[in-house]
Amino acid sequence: MGLNLTQKIIRAHLVSGEMITGTEIGIKIDQTLTQDATGTMAYLQFEAMGIPKVKTDLSVSYVDHNTLQSDFRNADDHVFLQTVAAKHGICFSRPGNGICHQVHLERFGKPGATLLGSDSHTPTGGGIGALAIGAGGLDVAVAMAGQPFYLTMPKVVRVELKNSLKPWVSAKDVILHLLSLLSVKGGLNRIMEYSGEGVKTLTVPERATITNMGAELGATTSIFPSDEQTRLFLHAQGREKDYVPLTADDNAIYDETIVIDLAKLEPLAACPHSPDNIKKVQDLDIKVNQVAIGSCTNSSFIDMKRVAEILKGKTVHPDVSLVISCGSKQVLAMLARDGALTDLITAGARILESACGPCIGMGQAPKSGAVSVRTFNRNFEGRSGTKDAKVYLVSPETAAATALTGKLTDPRTLGEFIPIGLPEKYLADDNMIIPPANEPEKVEVLRGPNIKPVPLGEPLPESFSLPVSIKVGDNITTDHIMPAGAKVLPLRSNIPAISEFVFAALDANFAKRAKELGRSIIVGGQNYGQGSSREHAALAPMYLGVKIVIAQSFARIHKANLINFGILPLEFANITDYELIAAGDVLQISDLKNALTSGEVLALNTNKGATIKLVASLTPRQIAIIKAGGLLAFSKAQALS
């Protein structure tokens, strides 16, 4: 039997386990990336392990989320990140250099490499043929310490692309179409591997748009082959030495196959408030107040150049605020060099710095009740910074057309298509990437007063009798659990302070109640913890005394984060038993350590007298982590043994 591309890369990096679907494997990690919203905690955790230098081939610390310096806290974190990187063998990408995924694709991504990033959109790197996986910061810290990354061997889904896209239809429409087929839960425990004749028609930046939003499927990652398009991109970046051809064997076996005819796709939009709420743009007649173009999904030079060509010589509709954030300094400099930046500015665009910005709720919140059309990857309620805003996700072409007309507009109405190809040569300048210090022993790591020690979990007791502090529904995102935005993000290195905002959008009294209860249980519906990889959505509840989360099902990264911080994730054996628990009920669980080994846990609802069967879908290693009180304690014990 031949191997698919995913299996080839995993086999080359396999440290433990076998490539059997559903079993735990450990893989060697070649590269890591962090961003500043998750990086401060990740490096505090790395420091706690007592290892002087990272053991990966390359680790990069990016500043792209918390760039709004409204007081000392973000600036202090940036200095901490720069000094800790210099001391421990990590490259530091300075504020303004760009969004981690865009810059990493341009300057560091390698076909066939494994990349672990403390951001859920790390799979962007799959556009260049890397096995790029998002994870919590603690998992990344452990990988930097040279230990394997453990995951459940996923199913590999072949996504066969046929033919080529028609004019004004883009890569964004490909992934929106796939979301319409599979939903935000459809990629769980799956890797989406793209193949077929249509692959060769897509440039690396277009492929990266598709793999980036594979995160919205809940997929472990997404990957394209490394082929002539990959070589052309690396050549244009001055990195052709990093090119290696990588494809699946002709007789490769896949767990599932999905066929997409690119020629049949149309411009699409993800409607409020979920990336899988897909409709055709031509069927939507909606007045628009704001257009935002950028984010790690659609901020490449090709994206921005096409937007500039659409806007050239025209003026943004008077009722629309257009904001644009390029993905990297490279993109911004190239637009400035060829005059496209002038076209954007004279058309009325507001140019933001090369950072995540509005995508993470860091500025440019729309007005009350606004319709905001964005080229981003998520449109969860309130994520924009305005709770009653309605956010639509579209391609750059649709966004540019909409900015001109003031209503959601099918770009096919613009007339003759404007082809934008891959540049022969990118403007490669790494002067804003600071290499680690030559004499790390002389580097002092600087810590501002907002940076607090990492809280540690408690070892697992034999039994629990705990109240339910909150009960929530389906598709609860990490934004619901731990909000982002300009008010909260500066607290990422201060867990006592940020914990005050846990579930704030759903229940303003949750943090106060959880602290009063001391220890408690959270109950959720399906796909609990979808969205961002932010480990603070597990770390802050742990600080508030949450010991168990019971849900109908979990999103992959969040479940791993719960385990990493000593919170026990349990699932209903019968999902209808969700109805047998209410907030305030007390659940009693006995003989827990033996129950985890068997995988069958019984909980007695002492308020209702009902016994509820729960499932602990944990590997022996995960059980050991839970018993130790979390991955940090477990890893330190392993290092000492």
- For 148, which DSSP code? P
- Biggest distance spanned by C-alpha atoms of the chain: 72
73 tagged catalytic: no
CA distances from 572 to 9, 524, 557, 602 (A): 35, 10, 19, 10
Pairing of strands 24-27, 14-16: antiparallel
- Dihedral angle of Cα 189, 127, 7, 622, to the nearest 10 degrees: -40
Q: Which residues contact 257 (CB under 8 A, 6 or more apart)?
A: 157, 158, 159, 160
User: How far, in Å, CA of 373 to CA of 394, rounded?
Assistant: 7
* Phi, psi angle pair for 214, to nearest 5°: -60, -25
| DSSP secondary structure string for all residues of 51-92 | -SS--SSEEEEE--SS---SSHHHHHHHHHHHHHHHHHT-EE
- For residue 466, the SS3 value is strand
Beta-carbon contacts of residue 509 (< 8 Å; ≥ 6 apart): none
Q: Which of 13, 59, 61, 64 is catalytic?
A: 64
Q: How many Å apart are CA 616 and CA 258, to the nearest integer?
A: 31
- Cα separation of 461 and 591, whole Å? 9
From CA 177, how far away is CA 179, in angstroms rounded?
Answer: 5
**Rounded Cα distance, 52 and 55, in Å:** 9
What interhelical angle do 204-212 and 301-311 show, nearest 10? 100
119 included as an active-site residue? yes
For residues 394 and 411, what is the distance between their CA atoms, to the nearest angstrom? 11
Distance CA 366, CA 253 (A): 47
Beta-sheet strands, E only, within 417-479:
433-434, 464-471
Beta strands in 481-537 (DSSP E): 520-524
How is residue 252 annotated by DSSP?
Answer: B
Marked catalytic residue, from 520, 532, 533, 635:
532
Do 567 and 546 form a contact (C-beta atoms < 8 A)?
yes
Cβ neighbours, 10 Å, residue 188: 20
For residue 317, cis peptide bond before it (omega within 30 degrees of 0): no
Classify 461 as helix, strand or coil: coil
| Single-letter code of the amino acid located at 267 | P
Pairing of strands 610-615, 568-572: antiparallel
Alpha-carbon separation of residue 38 from 22, 207, 489 (angstroms): 28, 26, 10
Burial class (CB in 10 A: 0-12, 13-18, 19+), 444: exposed
Pick from 74, 186, 151, 107: which is nearest to 428 by CA?
107
Tell me which of 30, 36, 77, 119 is the catalytic residue.
119
Q: Helix 329-338 crosses helix 340-347 at what angle (to 10 degrees)?
A: 90
Known active-site residue 118: no
Instruction: Given the residues 65, 121, 412, 536, select the one marked as catalytic.
Output: 65
Token couple for 160:
């066969």
Rounded CA gap, 126 and 264, in Å? 24
378 is catalytic: yes
Residues with catalytic roles: 64-65, 119, 378, 532, 534
